[in-house]
Amino acid sequence: MIETINHFLEEHSIDKNAGFIIAVSGGADSIALLHAFKYLNLKILALHCNFNLRGRESNMDEQFVKRFCDTYGIPHSVKKFDTLSHAKSKGISIEMAARELRYNWFEEVRQKKNMDYIVVGHHADDLAETIFINFCRGTGIKGLTGIRPINGRILRPLLDRSKNEIIDYITLNKLGYRVDSTNNTLDYVRNKIRHLIIPVCKDINPSFLKTVQENCQAMREVEQIYLYGIKQLKQQIVSEENGEMLIHIQQTLDSPAPYTLLYEILKPYGFNTTQVKDILESNDSIPGKQFQAEEYLLTKGRTYWRLFNILEKEDEHTLMADNGTYHLNNVTFTLDEMEISSEFEIPKENHVACFDLDKISYPLIVRHWSTGDWFCPLGMKRSKKKLSDLFIDLKFSAKQKKECLIIQSGKDIIWVVGHRLDDRYKITPGTKKALMIQVSSKTQE
């Protein structure tokens, strides 16, 4: 294991003086990883996530990791998560919620502690299981390339070591480890593959894990050729005009793989496989047919499909300092600056927002939201949230997202109009002056 990590760091030219965050669940993989990094006397920080999913067992995992780190003099930190609530609020699976919470925290600590890398204990068996999961659920070439040894700041130095080799290392060094009881059930897809399929594959081919690694490497090279070909074809059929992407219809249809080409062009804009098939099948329809994905709209012309962002409008307006009323298209904004008195009460209506006037920078900007926008929702104590995530929480339709307005002070979004205020600009006990903004529209009236 020691040699494996040494070779990994040298192969990828990773400085051994760097700082490494080690993700430690308490299982054999992460304990072996942590022990090896400690043995090499590298700068490490162990992080353990308690997802509160297995009751007493989760707490015992946490205590084991703490004792292990204390025994070996390893700095460590533990964080507890309400994983079920996070999964429910985001509308995602528990597994996805745990992954999101885990990596978000790891990256937050990495930046705060000025560390360089996040190291996780994925091994060769994990790689094989992932390939089967991707294949069963449906995947393109990328899904067959498996788990990558390096993904940005994330390192996976044990990918060429099997679970059995890791257990041998644990046994040799008398380390001890925790076993997740849920790993033995067949309630999860990964467990079914682990217990029912992988053993059969190993029986057919004793070097199955090595074969998987070699296949993944080959598929990564195939992927590079694939992406190169897509890039060359895109240069021939895609152009730009007045902020719109133009995709030549006939040249797309004449290409060696029209569906694959069009999918790769449209995938970054939120279009899925079904939509791409519908777009291709609409080839014989009259011009004007439209297809929408998130904030992007694709319209069919006689020669081109035209793609554009329906939210990037040139209707940005300013609200100047002073009390007054502003009429912007079908929406009216009324600004009222006032002194805070003992009788002052913050309005509860959604169409009214109050801010600490001393924190406001004029002019205020009113615009439609755009991709990448974020703010700090009221009550979240300066925690950033993307507007796209807020819209998921609020179950917004495409029409609601398209029509949503925001008000901006300087570079900060202070109000997602009619929905959420920014915590940084709220009224506090120390506020002396307030800015009240009321919004009304023809539909409201």
List pLDDT tens digits, range 212-269: 999 999 999 999 999 999 999 999 999 987 678 999 999 999 999 999 999 999 998 9
pLDDT (0 to 100) of residue 83: 92
Confidence (pTM): 0.64
Share of the chain above pLDDT 70, in %: 96
Give 2-216's CATH code, choosing from 3.40.50.300, 3.90.1410.10, 3.40.50.620, 3.90.1150.10: 3.40.50.620
pLDDT (0 to 100) of residue 315: 57
Token reading at 35: 């022990």
Among 191-195, 206-210, 211-215, 368-372, name the one with the lowest average pLDDT: 368-372
Three-class SS of residue 319?
strand
For the chain, give every domain's residue range: 2-216, 242-309, 317-441
Longest pairwise C-alpha distance within the chain: 80
Query: Which residue shows structure tokens 């080839």?
Result: 283
List pLDDT tens digits, range 142-177: 889 999 999 989 999 999 999 999 999 999 999 999
pLDDT band at 389 (very low <50, low <70, confident <90, very high): confident
Residue 25 pLDDT > 70: yes
Phi first, then psi: give them for residue 215, nearest 5 degrees.
-65, -40
CATH superfamily entry for domain 317-441: Phenylalanyl-trna Synthetase, Chain B, domain 3 (3.50.40.10)
> Under the phi-then-psi rule, with left for phi > 0, alpha for psi from -120 to 50, and beta for the rest, what region is 273?
alpha
Contact criterion met (CB below 8 Å) for 320 and 331: no
Tell which residue, 36, 56, 53, 34, has the closest CA to residue 45: 34
Residue 443 pLDDT > 50: no
Over residues 330-355, the mean pLDDT reads 87
